[in-house]
Structure 1
Amino acid sequence: MQIFSGVCHEVIFSELNTSNKHDIDELIHKIDTLKEQIETIRPLAKDVEERVMQKFRLDWNYHSNAIEGNKLTYGETRAFLMEGVTAKGKPLKDHLDIEGHDAAIDYLTAFVKDNVPISQKMMKELHQILLVRPYKVAAVTPNGQPTKRWITVGDYKKQPNHVQTPTGEHTTTLPLKKTPAKMTDLINWYNKNKHQIHPLLLAATFHYQFVAIHPFDDGNGRMARLLMNLILMNKGFVPAILPKERRESDYFPALAKADAGDLEDFVLLIGEELVRSMEIYVKAAKGENIAELDDLDKKLSLLQRRLQQTDEADPFAEKTNSLSKEQGIKALFASSYASRIRSEMAKVAKNLLVSSIHLIPISQVLP
């Protein structure tokens, strides 16, 4: 792990090869151009603001947890957060992780609105909200025996931890005794450079260095992504959401290269996802459809699950199992079951356009 002792803008760029430096320069220019465009269209109408922020929020909750192995699907995440519907057969812990992450986003939003500085106290409070309460996880003793250990919540790690690389290797993180001092170094570096280097470089470097220190027993990846977006939001940007689909192909390999002192791929990854979020925001402002094909597929899957959940209690559903396809269709549209389908499809259509999650409008939060 490369734990810095004072990385600055010049150091970051001096280590970039010519090709990647050009790519990052172009990416920063694109980000700045989009930022100027966004500033000219703010504030958005309340319904538009809620629609785009619902997408960001759901994507952020789902993907950040999925990267860490959470088994809830996008549709299940959405149903749980918006309607309180738990996913059948999925672990309680997965639901609690989603709930804690959503509460952590609320916490960050309030911090941006109130312009609260990043501090160790704030990060510990955020960790408490994210993980909710202490819990046990599987572990291995020094002699290789399986065991269980308690995860400390809201305070720095009490036992050594490690990061598992994409190849399955375990990389030891910073020793316990050095963690508080290195977290102080990280915050001091941030405060020194927050007005000196581009927000993309600031947020990406902070993200990586936090992961390298790995200050908490658990939740370090989610914490790093939350704090990265807090830095971006403090600078007037929308959140950069790393999709789970890039976990193995881009995210973990970029972190591994950063461990060897090469941050370029990691900066490019964060920048690409920031651009994607900014382009979605601009599309929403123009009244364009921001629902992606994946979003529609996920919502239709949710519709299917809703209908399946009610089949057991619906005598019509059982009755039509013995009918031919043609008879079933006729019976379907002559029954109350059709009303339920129309009702559920109306909800799906509405949710493609309008948010029912209560959010503080971003125009009241971002500078």
Structure 2
Amino acid sequence: MNRISNLERLKEKTIGIEHEDPNLTSAMERRAMIMSVADSNAIEGIYTSEERIAGLVSGKTAPRGHDEEEIIGYRDALRYIHANHEKINLDKETLLEIYHILMSHTGTEDLGFKTRDNVIAERDAKGDLIMLHRTVPADETEWCIDQLLGAFWEARNDLEINKLLLIPCFVMDFLRIHPFIDGNGRMSRLLTTLLLYQEGYDIGRFVSMESKINSSKDLYYDSLAQSEEGWWDNECDYNPFISYFLDQLFLCYRELDLSIRDSFKSRRPSGRIDEYLRICILPVSKKELCNMFPEISETTVERTLKRLLDSGIIETIGSSRSTRYIGKK
């Protein structure tokens, strides 16, 4: 539960962060969009060149070939979620609508739930087949989706259940059902972004969760495999995939914090410590502040910290040598 409490605190720290440093957050939003589109597709073996991806995401470059049609479909679906997450209701119609957007440029006619059975093909980095995973038969898919959505909303309305933990559980069940003939992995990541938004975690605007997954694919597939064992007998253990999900979510916040640090390092000394402590996401020690701002004396850093503490602008975490500082929200 410590990880969950920490993530909830990080969520609160980032509320309104775009107003604190609009230049930085605007640049991060553009970068996150490009990386999310590129990496979510890359996980599925869908690629284009680095030179073309930015143009495809911005709409300045027209798609060439099937892979790029898949890529701009993900772009459109992700844009839709970023723009409409507050009014989207997670139901069967929403799943079909997002899937329709995802596949809208590919010319596919299979825009509903699958009408024929499929399997999950797990491949290594070279593209060689490792294992085939069984999925729900086509004629049971819609019923299973109804059950999944019903169970999700029942749990979400239970005040004793932490809502953040429901997201990886929903995603894992969705992947095991595999409701569409194609695009299930990308759909699962779009739904992850949507559900995070709806629980107040808008980190996906600034840092790509898809990139975290792509850079840890082995852990991703291993945690899924561990959690899915026993799924067909209703005896699976969601904890491995929950743990993986929470780790990657924290890494997104850490990347945001590092970007803020890098931004402040390039600014003029006057007022920078005050500004940084107001906006930083993770607690920082006096030593780290001195390293960040080497042109400011340790005495001045100490004096600034005391002033900010006395005025109630920042607070301490830990004690003695482990003391760290963070702005109050």
Q: TM-score range by the shorter chain?
A: 0.5 to 0.7
- Report the Cα distance in structure 2 between the residues aligned to 1:277 and 1:80, rounded to whole angstroms: 24
Matches within 5 A, 1:28-177: 28-39=4-15, 41=17, 43-82=19-58, 84-85=60-61, 92-113=65-86, 115-133=87-105, 152-166=109-123, 168-177=130-139
> Percent of counterpart pairs with the same letter?
22
Q: Could you tell me which residue of structure 1 aligns to residue 181 of structure 2? A: 217
Matches within 5 A, 1:345-364: none
Q: Could you tell me which residue of structure 2 aligns to residue 189 of structure 1? A: 151
Bigger mean CA deviation after superposition, 205-214 or 160-169? 160-169
Unaligned runs of 5+ residues in structure 1 are 1-24, 136-150, 291-367
- Report the Cα distance in structure 1 between the residues aligned to 2:148 and 2:78, rounded to whole angstroms: 22
Report the alpha carbon displacement of residue 278 of structure 1 after superposing the two structures with TM: 2.1
User: For each residue in 1:281-328, what CA deviation from the matched residue of structure 2 results, as whole angstroms up to 9, or x when unmatched?
Assistant: 3455567279xxxxxxxxxxxxxxxxxxxxxxxxxxxxxxxxxxxxxx
Q: Could you tell me which residue of structure 2 aligns to residue 234 of structure 1? A: 198
1:202 and 2:166 matched: yes
- Report the Cα distance in structure 2 between the residues aligned to 1:274 and 1:284, rounded to whole angstroms: 16
Report the alpha carbon displacement of residue 254 of structure 1 after superposing the two structures with TM: 1.4
Of the two structures, which has the highest relative contact order with CA contacts closer than 8 Å and spacing of 6 or more?
Answer: 1
Report the alpha carbon displacement of residue 232 of structure 1 after superposing the two structures with TM: 0.4
Distance 1:117 1:288, change over 3 A: same
- Report the Cα distance in structure 1 between the residues aligned to 2:105 and 2:75, rounded to whole angstroms: 15
Aligned-partner SS, 1:39: coil
- Report the Cα distance in structure 2 between the residues aligned to 1:107 and 1:153, rounded to whole angstroms: 21
Aligned-partner SS, 2:45: coil
Q: Is the 8 A contact 2:120 2:133 kept in 1?
A: yes
TM-score by length of 1: 0.61
- Measured on the aligned residues, the alpha-carbon RMSD in Å equals 2.6
Distance 1:198 1:53, change over 3 A: farther
Pick the aligned partner of 1:246 from 206, 209, 216: 216
Which residue identity lines up with residue 92 of structure 2 in the other structure? Q
Report the alpha carbon displacement of residue 74 of structure 1 after superposing the two structures with TM: 4.4
Report the alpha carbon displacement of residue 49 of structure 1 after superposing the two structures with TM: 2.9
Q: Is the 8 A contact 1:164 1:170 kept in 2?
A: yes
Which residue identity lines up with residue 39 of structure 1 in the other structure? I
Q: Is the 8 A contact 1:163 1:170 kept in 2?
A: yes
Report the alpha carbon displacement of residue 189 of structure 1 after superposing the two structures with TM: 1.6
Report the alpha carbon displacement of residue 68 of structure 1 after superposing the two structures with TM: 0.3
Q: Is the 8 A contact 1:41 1:285 kept in 2?
A: no
Distance 1:102 1:94, change over 3 A: same
Q: Could you tell me which residue of structure 2 aligns to residue 277 of structure 1? A: 252
TM-score by length of 2: 0.67
Report the alpha carbon displacement of residue 83 of structure 1 after superposing the two structures with TM: 6.5
Report the alpha carbon displacement of residue 80 of structure 1 after superposing the two structures with TM: 2.8
Distance 1:289 1:156, change over 3 A: farther
Aligned-partner SS, 1:217: coil
Aligned-partner SS, 2:130: coil
- Report the Cα distance in structure 2 between the residues aligned to 1:31 and 1:163, rounded to whole angstroms: 32
Report the alpha carbon displacement of residue 152 of structure 1 after superposing the two structures with TM: 4.2
Q: Is the 8 A contact 1:152 1:158 kept in 2?
A: no
Aligned-partner SS, 1:165: strand
Bigger mean CA deviation after superposition, 238-247 or 268-277? 238-247
- Report the Cα distance in structure 1 between the residues aligned to 2:264 and 2:237, rounded to whole angstroms: 38
- Report the Cα distance in structure 2 between the residues aligned to 1:95 and 1:230, rounded to whole angstroms: 23
Report the alpha carbon displacement of residue 268 of structure 1 after superposing the two structures with TM: 1.9
- Report the Cα distance in structure 2 between the residues aligned to 1:175 and 1:204, rounded to whole angstroms: 22
Distance 1:60 1:172, change over 3 A: same
Bigger mean CA deviation after superposition, 101-110 or 258-267? 258-267
Distance 1:193 1:289, change over 3 A: farther
Which residue identity lines up with residue 248 of structure 2 in the other structure? E
Report the alpha carbon displacement of residue 243 of structure 1 after superposing the two structures with TM: 3.4
- Report the Cα distance in structure 1 between the residues aligned to 2:151 and 2:88, rounded to whole angstroms: 17
Q: Is the 8 A contact 1:179 1:213 kept in 2?
A: yes
Report the alpha carbon displacement of residue 86 of structure 1 after superposing the two structures with TM: 6.6
Distance 1:94 1:278, change over 3 A: same
- Report the Cα distance in structure 1 between the residues aligned to 2:12 and 2:106, rounded to whole angstroms: 44
1:267 and 2:242 matched: yes
Q: How many residues align?
A: 246
User: For each residue in 1:158-188, what CA deviation from the matched residue of structure 2 results, as whole angstroms up to 9, or x when unmatched?
Assistant: 1111001356222221011211111111111
Q: Is the 8 A contact 1:133 1:153 kept in 2?
A: no
Q: Could you tell me which residue of structure 1 aligns to residue 3 of structure 2? A: 27
